[in-house]
Amino acid sequence: MKYLCLIYDNESEWQKFPKEVQDKYMGEYMAFGDSIKKSGQYVGANQLQPSHTATVVRSRNGKVSTTDGPFVETKEQLGGYYLVEAKDLNDAIQIASRIPSARSGAIEVRPIVERNAA
Amino acid sequence: MNDDNAAHVRDRVDAIYRSDSRRVLATLIRLLGDFDLAEEALHDAFATAVEQWPGKGIPSNPSAWLISTGRFKAVDRLRKSARFESADGEVLDRLQARETPDRGEEGVEDDRLRLIFTCCHPALSADAQIALTLREVCGLTTEEVARAFLTPASTLAQRIVRGKSKIRDAGIPYEIPSLSDLPDRLDSVLHVIYLVFNEGYVASAGPELTRESLSAEAIRLGRLLVELLPEPEAMGLLALMLLHEARRAGRTSSVGDLILLEDQDRSLWNREQIQEGVTLVERALTSRRIGPYSLQAAIAAVHAEAPDTASTDWAQIVALYDVLLKAEPSAVIELNRAAAIAMRDGPETGLELIDKILATGELVDYYPAHAARGELCRRLGRVSDARAAYTRTLELVTQEPERRFLERRLMELDSRG
């Protein structure tokens, strides 16, 4: 099964970290990424620009409206994701628990709807 | 085949249903990979037994017969509907690819453990864990679970449906957790069992103080768990439940009013349950992996073995609370420790400790804290403080028997001026 691991962490805390702490963090992310590539569980991943860069778009009766900001304001913001291949939820939880931000923020694990090509 | 024979077989089928249906279901879920399909298969298998056994005789291994018949019926059912739905065809392919269950009953006990761990998976909501455990592991009907929790049957049915669909869609595996995950996952199972027990022992609302059948169900589950997985904390929890359950008859008066521990007629306590509980605590404590349930059980054992409040070994109870607080720091445990210290060193010392806890802002809405405060003030003769504390308790309490008890206490205080 495929699972999306959404990474929620406190952006403003992160921006306040000195450069060497940020570098250490990034190093941990690199190591984690390498480990799931090696194990064949990696499907995809991206880091997102901070939430202040977000734009919310709606289309109603053909009219497009655009507003500033993330869809929901929360204490921890969506900062990136990993798409992983896991045997089952326990396997996915095991992977998610190793994402560096699991220690400071939280990881939401969501199964991907699998549609078989007919 | 005569009517007598048919009636006899029907009795046997009923008995086998009571003793073995959960076992059979647990294995069918593993073989079929789906809760709903397994439940239908279980139903089909028993229906077939009622039909065939009077003529063909009862098979030598009824559970194995029921498992293979259930599986066969499920495959048959899928084959019929597969003509219309491609999704069923896929399930069918997967099913037929699996090995046949001709390995006797080997691993069947593991299936029951798989079922328990799956129903108590921490990815499910607490409500869903409880509902699924009582429904699937204990075999209560949805209506029975709903009645026990004073919840509408429709709400409960929805919880079960949502729980099952999360198991399926999120890919919660049907397996016993690995050794490294076991402590965490076992906690979750123990917590569900204890919640069920407590709901039966101290009904959280309603006219009755307890709902015995839920406690009995929790004890049955506890026994099953100890049998399947004799971990120290599983034994500790079973001991704790037995030691509490043993006092049930002494806990309430004939009209359902609450009686405090110190006023209970200890000859009403169930000695057999106490003995079993004490033996289990001793086993759990020798494991050297002592957890919160075993410690609470040890405290309950000290109470259970004392002839009355005055000769209770309060020093040992305080010492056990000290260890418990280290294992699991919580304001509620601090409150219980304060009450034990009041018994060891006098109400004044206990009251100081309770006021200290309340001053932190913890437990200010927790009625037992105010009830304990009222009790200690009453013993110290501080009548107006006691009245204030009992009045506050009365505002917070939701159970009828507790309310009557407090009203009685307040009336006694009034008569003292």
State pLDDT tens for residues B37-76: 999 999 999 999 999 999 999 999 999 999 999 999 999 9
Segment B148-158, tens digit of pLDDT: 888 899 999 99
- Percentage of chain B beyond pLDDT 70 is 91
Burial of B115 (0-12, 13-18, 19+ CB in 10 A): buried
User: Which value does ipTM take for this structure?
Assistant: 0.86
Indicate the helix (H) or strand (E) that contains B213: helix B212-228
Residue range B139-150: mean pLDDT, rounded: 86
* Yes or no, beta carbons of B123 and A1 under 8 Å apart: no
Mutate to test the interface with A, among B90, B120, B169 (most CBs of A within 10 A): B169
What residues of A are in contact with residue B173 (Cβ under 8 Å)?
87-91
Cα gap B61→B104, rounded to integer Å: 9
- The yes-or-no verdict on residue B94 having pLDDT over 90 is no
| Residue in A closest to B174 by C-alpha | A88
* Yes or no, beta carbons of B171 and A92 under 8 Å apart: yes
Q: What pLDDT is attached to residue A117?
A: 55
Residues A69/A56, Cβ–Cβ less than 8 Å:
yes
Range of weakest confidence among B76-85, B200-209, B267-276 = B200-209
- The contact set of A with B (CB < 8 A) is 1, 3, 86-93, 111, 116, 118
Q: What pLDDT is attached to residue B84?
A: 61
* Yes or no, beta carbons of A90 and B169 under 8 Å apart: no
B313-to-B302, B318, B321, B338, B343 alpha-carbon distances in Å: 7, 9, 13, 15, 10
* Nearest-neighbour CA in chain B from A116: distance (Å): 10
Q: What pLDDT is attached to residue B90?
A: 67
* Nearest-neighbour CA in chain A from B172: distance (Å): 5
Segment A40-98, tens digit of pLDDT: 999 999 999 999 999 999 999 999 999 998 888 888 999 999 999 999 999 999 999 99
What residues of B are in contact with residue A91 (Cβ under 8 Å)?
173
What residues of A are in contact with residue B86 (Cβ under 8 Å)?
118
* Yes or no, beta carbons of A87 and B169 under 8 Å apart: no
Closest Cβ opposite residue B170 in set A87, A89, A116: A89
* Yes or no, beta carbons of B177 and A87 under 8 Å apart: no
- The contact set of B with A (CB < 8 A) is 86, 90, 121, 123, 169-173, 175, 177, 181
* Nearest-neighbour CA in chain B from A109: distance (Å): 9
Closest Cβ opposite residue A89 in set B86, B90, B171: B171
End-to-end CA distance of chain A: 18
Global model pTM greater than 0.95: no
> Chain A to chain B, count of Cβ pairs less than 8 Å apart?
26
Q: How confident is the model at residue B87 (pLDDT cuts 50, 70, 90)?
A: low
* Yes or no, beta carbons of B173 and A89 under 8 Å apart: yes
- The yes-or-no verdict on residue B417 having pLDDT over 70 is no
* Nearest-neighbour CA in chain A from B173: distance (Å): 6
Burial of A67 (0-12, 13-18, 19+ CB in 10 A): exposed
Segment B190-227, tens digit of pLDDT: 999 999 998 888 765 555 555 678 899 999 999 999 99
| Residue in B closest to A92 by C-alpha | B171
Cα gap B248→B202, rounded to integer Å: 10
CA atoms within 13 A on the CB side of A109: 25
- The yes-or-no verdict on residue A33 having pLDDT over 70 is yes
* Two structure tokens written together for B406: 């407090």
* Yes or no, beta carbons of A88 and B177 under 8 Å apart: no
What residues of A are in contact with residue B175 (Cβ under 8 Å)?
90
Cα gap A6→A99, rounded to integer Å: 10
Range of weakest confidence among A10-14, A42-46, B253-257, B374-378 = B253-257
Segment B313-322, tens digit of pLDDT: 999 999 999 9
Cα gap B201→B215, rounded to integer Å: 6
Cα gap A101→B145, rounded to integer Å: 40
Cβ partners under 8 Å of residue B247, min gap 6: B261, B264, B269, B270, B304
Cα gap B183→B174, rounded to integer Å: 18
* Yes or no, beta carbons of B172 and A111 under 8 Å apart: no
Cα gap B285→B299, rounded to integer Å: 12
B296-to-B9, B22, B241, B292 alpha-carbon distances in Å: 46, 31, 10, 6
